[in-house]
Amino acid sequence: MTTLIPAPKAVRAHPPHQPGRRETVHKWRRRFPLLPALIFTVVVTQLPFVATLIISTLQWNILKPGERHFTGLSNYAFVFTDERLRTAVLNTIVLTASVVSISMVLGLGLALLLDRRFPGRGLARTLLITPFLVMPVAAALLWKHAIYNPDYGLLNGTLNALYRLFGAENGPTIDWVSNSAMPAVVVALVWQWTPFMMLILLAGLQAQPGDVLEAARVDGASAMATFRFITLPHLRQYIELGVLLGTIYVVQTFDAVFTITQGGPGSQTTNLPYEIYLTMFRKYEYGEAAAAGVVVVIGSIVVATFALRTIASLFREEVSR
Amino acid sequence: MTIRKITHAGRSTRAVLAAVAAGSMLAACSGAGGSSSGGGGESINVLMVGNPQMEDIAKLTKDTFTKDTGIKVNFTILPENELRDKVTQDIATQAGQYDVATIGAYEVPIWHKNDWLHELSSYAGKDSAFDEADLLKPMVQSLSGDDGKLYALPFYGESSMLMYNKEVMAEKGITVPEKPTWQQVADIAAKVDGARPGMKGICLRGLAGWGELGAPLTTVVNTFGGTWFTKDWKAQVNSAEFKKATNFYVDLVRKHGEVGAPQAGFTECLNALSQGKVAMWYDATSAAGSLEDPKSSKIAGKVGYAYAPVDKTDSSGWLWTWAWAMPKTTKKADAASKFMLWASGKDYEKLVGEKLGWSRVPAGKRASTYELPEYQKAASAFGDITLKSIEQANPTDPGVQPRPTVGVQFVAVPEFQDLGTKVTQEISAAIAGKTSVDKALDKGQKLAEETAKTYQ
């Protein structure tokens, strides 16, 4: 008894201190074994970024030793005023927006089809996922040589076969990559990213409660109405996730641009990663490259946030209607 | 001997996170150092470009050089662009990982100015078997510093020439002159265009890049009287001569050039001519070896060769060499120099000829190569024209006016890689029909003026 009385008093007397400290000690005891991992993570992920921030304030061309010096924010000024970089930003936005939106729409369609039961569904699903598993460089090479090549590519080959079928001697020789460079890159990327969107949306569709759909059917809702008012709002989170992840990855596209078009013709398909690559490995201007890299990171965050908000508000309207 | 081949994998990560990679450069500064785990004997690290001649030396070193000297050689072989990235960073950051690296005629003067390279004349002079006097003069010029000393030893050299399908010319009754003018070439291209179903008149590089489209185009600019810069660093990219040359080049490719020209580089053109898709090709003399190989070429033995076409100058071939250089950071200068002297020597050429075949000899650097009866036989169709093209190339005065730097198809300043890449991007767009030559060159002029500011 006597021992019990002072204890609550003491607790009441120092409410924020005693248990807090004990808890902190306890917490740290639990955290301690994780600390090395945490420190390691910080070192390998955050320190390079800090280094990048520092380098972005330097005037540093490695081909001109002895001229490295602090230059403040002038590299950023260059990034924002340089015409080529502005084009690159624009191209990055066009590329990312079109790839993400087209692959999202296609992915949604495929997911809806795959959500139904049909014989051979497992096989169809595996085949549809395959493009996403191909290495980006390999995929880009495949598109450049096997499909777009004007001499021996599949597209012109098919065209020629069709022409011959109707009696012509030879079809047209279309140089796909030079004539429509941006669409060529977009199509190759859509091919890679549609399965990703499809997978996420398929997971969403299969998580849809069956009783709600059944209730809608019993109430006499049409398939279109069920999709629009029940399935689509349910998929919202999944679409958001797909757009977010897709945007983050597609903004960084390098392989397709490097392999298929080399940023050309001119700088029509030069996106930021490729422009940064040129700055780093042709111009050897490390400061400019670092500054552009920082801008890409910030840009990715902005684009992703923006995309997310647009979609969120679209759905709010949809629900309130 | 270990050969570490590094492929394209990982390029995307590196390039996309280029900025982050810059951070890791700081780590590289601490100096990784070469592994010298040879069993008693010394070992050196050699970084080289992945061309066939280099693959050959990687195969031959162990049983010859290492056997004789006890020096172990660790080769790292990389594709050209990756090699430039790696060797530039290694040397610029003084990481000192490599004792020998292959670099080209473009790098030597720039790196020499940066004091990154060991002079090699003293080593070459001491070695009587090496016979420095036998090296071709343009090679020595390209690889010397302004103090007259050698800063790299040539492994093989090349110029440029016109190659054509003799059968097609014979069918059309056309004789290609031994020293054609560009106008003659354009006329022939028009005549042979469509000589066979789908066959185009000529292949000229259209792929952006200072070492791709930039190389043949600059030789055309030179012979049409143009230049990138005047002697006192006035940019000339939109001058009348430069424009005339570029318009000529772009028109010729658009009218009678290969299909997919804006994406066609050396490899694509090599395929186009050897597979019968084009009738002519203007490019590197070193392409002849591949064109004459029946395994890969449908027209082996049927290829005609002519000198680089000209307009105002007497000759117009470019000049390139892959050469061995020793970074100043090396701690094994003696072993490294022994390797370089062996690899660039006469005996090595004979070794390749005897072991691997005479057409694979790393030629184009020594006068004596062309006197070997075995080589003369193997290269009867193109050996003579290659040698004369190299001898005629004048890296100090390749056009009609004096130049600010040494170099035929490039301007030897660090900024040129970037300038050349960007300007050829615009010209490549003109070949694709997406912009006009005038607009492309006006943009190029602005970039060139920017570059010139540093030097005026």
Q: Give the mean pLDDT of chain A.
A: 85
Q: Where are the domains of chain B?
A: 3-158+320-380, 160-317+395-453
Name the phi and psi angles at B185, rounded to 5. -65, -40
B80-92 vs A272-281: helix axis angle to the nearest 10?
A: 60
Average pLDDT over residues A200-224: 89
* Token pair recorded at residue A285: 């201007």
CATH T-level fold of A82-320: MetI-like fold (1.10.3720)
Touching check for B9 and chain A: CB below 8 Å? yes
Confidence of residue B274 (pLDDT cuts 50, 70, 90): very high
Q: What is the pTM of this model?
A: 0.81
Q: Give the best residue of B418, B426, B439 to mutate against chain A (max A CB count within 10 A).
A: B418
Confidence of residue A116 (pLDDT cuts 50, 70, 90): confident
Phi-psi region of A303 (alpha: psi -120 to 50; beta: other; left: phi over 0): alpha
Task: Say if the Cβ atoms of A264 and B262 lie within 8 Å.
Answer: yes
**Nearest CB neighbour to A289, from listed B18, B116, B432:** B18
Confidence of residue B37 (pLDDT cuts 50, 70, 90): very low
CA distance B406 to B398: 9
A-chain residues near B262 (CB < 8 A): 175, 177-178, 264-265
CA distance B119 to B152: 8
Confidence of residue A318 (pLDDT cuts 50, 70, 90): low
**Nearest CB neighbour to B22, from listed A55, A255, A266:** A55
Higher pLDDT, B220 or B195: B220
B-chain residues near A255 (CB < 8 A): 11-12
CB B103 within 8 A of CB B325: yes
Average pLDDT over residues B85-106: 86
% of chain B residues with pLDDT over 70 = 91
**Nearest CB neighbour to A281, from listed B85, B92, B435:** B85
pLDDT of B4? 41
Phi-psi region of B96 (alpha: psi -120 to 50; beta: other; left: phi over 0): left
Kindly tell me if the per-residue pLDDT of A145 is higher than 60. yes
Task: Say if the Cβ atoms of B260 and A51 lie within 8 Å.
Answer: no
Cβ-based burial of A220 (10 A; exposed 0-12, middle 13-18, buried ≥19): exposed
Kindly tell me if the per-residue pLDDT of A261 is higher than 70. yes
CA distance B182 to B251: 12
| Chain B stretch 190-219, residues whose beta carbon is closer than 8 A to a beta carbon of chain A | 197-198, 207-209
Average pLDDT over residues A184-189: 95
CB B143 within 8 A of CB B153: yes
pLDDT of A24? 83
B-chain residues near A274 (CB < 8 A): 15
pLDDT of B20? 38
pLDDT of B60? 93
Tens of pLDDT, residue by residue over A89-113, are: 899 889 999 999 999 999 999 999 9
Confidence of residue B447 (pLDDT cuts 50, 70, 90): very high
A-chain residues near B17 (CB < 8 A): 293
pLDDT of B1? 38
pLDDT of B6? 38
pLDDT of A315? 64
Confidence of residue A319 (pLDDT cuts 50, 70, 90): low
pLDDT of A247? 86
Higher pLDDT, B223 or A12: B223
pLDDT of A187? 95
pLDDT of A10? 43
Average pLDDT over residues B135-156: 91
Average pLDDT over residues B316-340: 92
Average pLDDT over residues A281-300: 86
A-chain residues near B414 (CB < 8 A): 61, 63-64, 284
> B3-158+320-380 and B160-317+395-453 share one CATH topology?
yes
Q: Which residue of B has its CA nearest to A276?
A: B18
Confidence of residue B23 (pLDDT cuts 50, 70, 90): very low
Average pLDDT over residues B214-222: 95
Kindly tell me if the per-residue pLDDT of A33 is higher than 90. no
Sheet with B3-5, edge to edge strand ranges: B3-5, B72-78, B43-49, B100-104, B320-325, B153-158
Cα torsion angle, A128, A255, B290, B301, sign: positive
Cα torsion angle, A252, A256, A257, A258, sign: positive
% of chain A residues with pLDDT over 70 = 90
| Chain B stretch 388-447, residues whose beta carbon is closer than 8 A to a beta carbon of chain A | 414-415, 417-418, 421-422, 425-426, 428-429, 431-435, 440
Kindly tell me if the per-residue pLDDT of A131 is higher than 60. yes
Tens of pLDDT, residue by residue over B285-298, are: 988 888 888 888 89
Give the CATH class of B160-317+395-453. alpha beta
Kindly tell me if the per-residue pLDDT of B314 is higher than 60. yes
CB A294 within 8 A of CB A279: no
**Nearest CB neighbour to B263, from listed A178, A266, A274:** A178
pLDDT of B202? 96
Concatenating the DSSP letter of every residue in A166-189 gives: TT-S------HHHHSHHHHHHHHH
Kindly tell me if the per-residue pLDDT of B229 is higher than 80. yes
pLDDT of B296? 81
Task: Say if the Cβ atoms of A175 and B110 lie within 8 Å.
Answer: no
| A124 Cβ neighbours under 8 A, 6+ residues apart | A114, A118
Average pLDDT over residues B184-196: 93
Q: Which residue of B has its CA nearest to A288?
A: B19
pLDDT of B94? 79
Kindly tell me if the per-residue pLDDT of B218 is higher than 50. yes
* Token pair recorded at residue A257: 């641009």
Q: Which residue of B has its CA nearest to A295?
A: B19
Average pLDDT over residues A226-235: 89
Higher pLDDT, B444 or B18: B444
**Nearest CB neighbour to A178, from listed B8, B25, B432:** B432
% of chain A residues with pLDDT over 90 = 29
Kindly tell me if the per-residue pLDDT of A310 is higher than 90. no
Mean pLDDT is lowest, of A6-15, A190-199, A293-302, for A6-15
Tens of pLDDT, residue by residue over B426-437, are: 999 999 999 999
Higher pLDDT, B136 or B294: B136
Touching check for B7 and chain A: CB below 8 Å? no
CA distance B339 to B153: 11
Cα dihedral B281, B283, B288, B289 in deg (nearest 10): -130
Q: Give the best residue of B7, B11, B14, B16 to mutate against chain A (max A CB count within 10 A).
A: B16
Cis peptide before A265 (omega within 30 of 0): yes
Kindly tell me if the per-residue pLDDT of B310 is higher than 80. yes
B-chain residues near A177 (CB < 8 A): 260, 262-263
Task: Say if the Cβ atoms of A65 and B432 lie within 8 Å.
Answer: no
Kindly tell me if the per-residue pLDDT of A228 is higher than 70. yes
Give the CATH class of B3-158+320-380. alpha beta
For strands A69-70 and B43-49, give the pairing: unpaired
Tens of pLDDT, residue by residue over A154-183, are: 998 898 888 888 877 777 788 888 889 999
pLDDT of A241? 86
A272-281 vs B18-29: helix axis angle to the nearest 10?
A: 30
Kindly tell me if the per-residue pLDDT of A213 is higher than 60. yes
Task: Say if the Cβ atoms of A62 and B425 lie within 8 Å.
Answer: no
Touching check for B50 and chain A: CB below 8 Å? no
Kindly tell me if the per-residue pLDDT of A299 is higher than 80. no
pLDDT of A5? 45
Kindly tell me if the per-residue pLDDT of A193 is higher than 90. yes
Q: Which residue of B has its CA nearest to A47?
A: B23
Touching check for B114 and chain A: CB below 8 Å? yes
Q: A225: distance to nearest CA of chain B, Å?
A: 44
Q: Give the mean pLDDT of chain B.
A: 86
